[in-house]
Amino acid sequence: MTSTSHEQRNPYKGNPPRPWIRLRLRSFKDTLSEIDLLADTGSPFPIIISEASLLLLKRQAGTDMETNFGLLHGGWLELDMPELGLTQRVEGYGSDVVAATVRSSSPDFAGLAGLPLLRMLEYGGDTTSFWVRPAATS
């Protein structure tokens, strides 16, 4: 991963190669955790991680959701990435099925970053890497 003060650029990772983003989250106990998430515009949820990770990181509980990957347990997660303009809480979800599925691409992946989160940023890619940077302010 390389970062300027305003861009995070990550070489594709896994088999097959996948785009990904590294997020920093602040837990209720005020600890910071960095997790690598597969970037997936096909996911309608901001963040999906394992049940155990959600239990450790959630600030408040969220609504549960039935999906084609089974039941997702909701939990509000606090982003701590001022360099990308991300300091708000987003409604994350816990699913061991989704977490195991993304780990089949790379054991480094802790889950999925979906379109609602990617839309908080600018994002793109080329032949070698995927990048995100703060959303342009108009």
Q: Which residues bind other proteins (CB under 8 A)?
A: 28, 38, 40, 42-45, 48, 58-69, 73, 75-76, 78, 89, 97-98, 100-102, 104-105, 112, 114
Cα–Cα distance between 35 and 23 in angstroms, integer? Answer: 5
Cα–Cα distance between 34 and 130 in angstroms, integer? Answer: 18
Only one residue has tokens 């303009």, namely 85
What tokens does 62 get? 């969220």
Beta carbon of residue 67, minimum distance to other proteins (angstroms, whole number): 5
Beta carbon of residue 129, minimum distance to other proteins (angstroms, whole number): 19
Q: Which CB sits closer to other proteins, 3 or 74?
A: 74
10 Å Cβ neighbour count for 103? 16
Q: Which CB sits closer to other proteins, 4 or 55?
A: 55
Beta carbon of residue 2, minimum distance to other proteins (angstroms, whole number): 25
The answer to whether the beta carbons of residues 78 and 28 sit under 8 Å apart is no
Cα–Cα distance between 23 and 128 in angstroms, integer? Answer: 20
Q: Which CB sits closer to other proteins, 6 or 119?
A: 119
Q: Which CB sits closer to other proteins, 43 or 133?
A: 43
